[in-house]
Chain A
C-alpha cells in the first residue's frame, strides 16, 4: 500500500515553518531577489525575539552552567576558581539531592496523572450540553487564577494540625480519629503538596482537554450511535485517540511545570527534606548556604533532566502519532 508519509499534526508546526526560512538563507546562491527579501524580512521580525531570548534565557543559562564548574560563592561572585566536575561529584554522592530528585519525580508523576484523569472527567462533563456550562467553566478556572504563593498559604492554614479545616472535616465525617499534622508529618506532607497542586492545576488540564473535545467532529459520534457502539467503547476507541495529540501537549506542559516545581513546596513546607524538590534544593544551596557553584550544578542537573525528558517524550510521542492510535 502506498501510504503517503504523514507529518504528525503538532500544534507548533507554523513556528517550525517560520524558523525554517531563515535557517536556509545562506544555502542557495541562485535564489530570486524576492525570496532573499522575504528571508531578510523574516530575520528582521525574528531579531527582537532572539535578542530578548538571549538576554533573559540564554545568558542566565550559560552563566549558571559556567558557575556549576566553579567554587563561586554568593559572598563575592568574582572570586572563584574553576574546579571541573567536582560540584557534580558532590551532587552525585549527596543523598539529600537524590531525595530531592525522587520527591520531584514522584510529585510530577502522581500529580500529572491525577490531574490528567480528573481533567478528562471534568472536561467530558463540561462538554455535554447542559445549562450553566459557561458559568461552571469560568468558576472552574478560579484555582488556576490564584497565584501559587497565595493558594499555598491558604492551604497551609487549611492543613493546620490544630485549627485547620481539613482536620475538622475529616474528623467530622470519621475519616480520621485524631488530628493529623498534614504538612509536618514526613509521611503525609508530599501527598498534601500533591493535593494542592491537583486542586490548582486540574482546571488547566480540563481547559486544554475541553478545547480538544470541542473540535471533535459531531457526526462521528452520531455514526457511532447508529452503529450501536456503547459510550465507554466510543471513549476509548474514538475520543481518546482523537484528542491524543492535544492531550500529549497538555501532559508535557504540566510535566515540565511539575519537574521544576518550587513555590508550592517552599511556601507549604519550607526546606523540609520530605518534600524538597530539586528546585528547592538548588535554592537552598545557592542562597541559604551561599554556595553558588554547587547550587548552579544542581540547577544545571535539573535542566538536563528536563531536557532529556522533553526529548524522550517528543520522540516517543511522534512515533505514536504516526501509528495513529492503532
Chain B
C-alpha cells in the first residue's frame, strides 16, 4: 500500500495548460476524493496518476518511486472507469482474469483470486455471464472486481457511480466505504457529486479550473472552507452569501452591518480590515433558525417553500432584496408571501474578504481535524 505525491504537476494539451501546478500528498491507505464542477481537471488529474496521460512538468511518486515516465502497468495502480470498460465479448470471470492470465499467474492462483474478489463483491453467481446480461450495478461490481484481483497499491475510480440510478448509487456508496476498509488500500476517487465526496472521503480535494482550491477532511471543508468557491461547492443547499460591510473589528471578531439595520459580531480573524471594507457573510441554510433566537434576527418575507417531507427549504427575501435559503423541519406551516423571522447564530457564520478568501474563524470546529470512522468494524 502506498503514498501518492504530486509536486507542481502540470499538464498541457496542445499548448493549453489544463492542470496548473498541483501539489498533493495522498497518504497510504487514505480515501481521497477529487471533486469539482465539470471541466475542473479532476478526471485529467486521475488519468495523470494512472499514467493514461503524460505529465507535462512536475514530479509524481507512488510508493516512493518516481513514476513520471512509467507506463500504467508498472505504477501498481488499477482503475475503475465511468462506463465500466468491461470487455463485452468476455464472461465476467474472463473479464476479471484477463489481466492476470497475461501476467502469467498460475491457473489456480488466478482462479482463487477471481473467486475471492467475486465473493467480496457478491457476484459469484454471475461469473459465467457476459456484461450485456448484467445490470448497471452488477457491471460496476465486475469492474471493481477486475481492479481488486490485480492487488494494486492504489485504486483509481473515475466517477464510478455516475451511470447508476439514485437508489443504487446510495447502496454502492455504502459498499464502497466498506470495501475500502476491507481492502486497506489507497484509493483516489473522482466525482462531481459532493454527497459522494462527503460520505466516502478521508480527504477531499476541491478542484476548479486546474487549481486545487482546498484539500482537507470533509468536515474541515464544511466548517472551514478556504474561500467562497469551496464554501459554495460543499454543502447542499448552497451556503447563503450576503454582501455587507465591516463596521469595526476587535479581538472578538468583526462587527458587520446586517441588511435591515442591525449589526452582528462574527468570531473571525478580521485584523487588517478597515472600517467600511466590503465583506461577504456566509451562513449555511441548516444553521439559520426560524425563530426569535440567534444573535441577530432578520425580518424576511417567504417567497418559495420547498417541502421535502422530512425537511423544508424556505426561500426568503431580506430587507435589501437579497435572498436566503433557510432549512427548517417538515412540520413548519409557513406559506409563500408571509413574513418570517430568521435568526442568525454568529458562531456559525463565515466571513470572506473582497477577494473571496475566508477570514480564519477564531475557533476550530471540534470535528474538523480528527479522522472519524464511518461504520463499526466487525
Contact = CB atoms under 8 A, between A and B. Distances in A.
B140 interface: no
A240 to B, nearest CB: 10
Contacts of A220: 85-88
B87 A238 contact: yes
B103 A226 contact: no
A241 B95 CA distance: 14
Interface string A1-31: 1011010000000000000000000000000
A242 interface: yes
A242 B98 CA distance: 16
Contacts of A4: 133
Given A1-B128, A3-B133, A237-B98, A226 B87 contact: no
Interface in A116-161: none
Given A220-B85, A241-B89, A3 B102 contact: no
A217 B132 CA distance: 14
B72 A225 contact: yes
A3 B99 contact: no
Interface stretch (B20-28, B74-82, B257-265): B74-82
A227 B82 contact: no
Interface in B103-129: 103, 125, 128-129
A51 interface: no
Contact of B85 (A1, A217, A242, A325): A217
Interface in A214-235: 217, 219-220, 222-223, 225-230, 233
Nearest to A223: B85
A324 to B, nearest CB: 5
Contact of B50 (A3, A226, A238): A226
B102 A219 contact: no
Interface of B is mostly: loop
A3 B130 CA distance: 8
B337 interface: no
- Could you say which of A217, A228, A233, A241 has the most chain B C-beta atoms within 10 Å of its C-beta? A228
Contact of A324 (B73, B98, B130): B130
Contacts of B81: 219, 222-223
A241 B130 CA distance: 14
B74 A222 contact: no
B99 A228 contact: yes
Nearest to A244: B89
Interface string B46-89: 00001110000000000000000001111001110111111111
B128 A226 contact: no
Given A1-B129, A3-B129, A229 B85 contact: no
Interface string A312-325: 00000000000011
A248 to B, nearest CB: 14
B300 to A, nearest CB: 49
Contacts of B150: 227
Interface residues of A, number: 22
A226 B79 contact: yes
A4 B129 CA distance: 9
A112 B87 CA distance: 29
Contacts of A237: 87, 98
Contact of A228 (B88, B103, B133): B103
A59 to B, nearest CB: 44
Contact of B77 (A226, A233, A238, A325): A226
Contact of A233 (B84, B86, B102, B133): B102
Given A1-B128, A227-B150, A222 B52 contact: yes
Interface in B174-221: none
Contacts of A1: 125, 128-129
A227 B85 contact: no
A238 B130 CA distance: 14
A166 B344 CA distance: 92
A225 B85 CA distance: 12
Contacts of B82: 219
A229 B87 contact: no
Contacts of A233: 102
Contact of B52 (A217, A225, A228, A230): A225
A37 to B, nearest CB: 35
A324 B74 CA distance: 31
Interface in A269-312: none
B89 A226 contact: no
A161 B73 CA distance: 56
Given A1-B129, A238-B87, A226 B72 contact: yes
B61 to A, nearest CB: 18
Given A6-B132, A219-B81, A225 B73 contact: yes
Contacts of B74: 228
For the complex of A and B, list the 5 residue pairs with the smallest distance between their C-beta atoms, beginning with the closest: A228-B73, A227-B99, A219-B85, A223-B85, A1-B128
7 contacts: A3-B133, A220-B85, A222-B79, A228-B74, A229-B102, A237-B98, A324-B130
Given A223-B146, A229-B98, 15 more contacts: A1-B128, A3-B129, A217-B88, A219-B84, A219-B85, A220-B87, A220-B88, A225-B73, A226-B77, A227-B99, A228-B71, A228-B99, A237-B87, A241-B89, A324-B89
Interface of A: 1, 3-4, 6, 217, 219-220, 222-223, 225-230, 233, 237-238, 241-242, 324-325
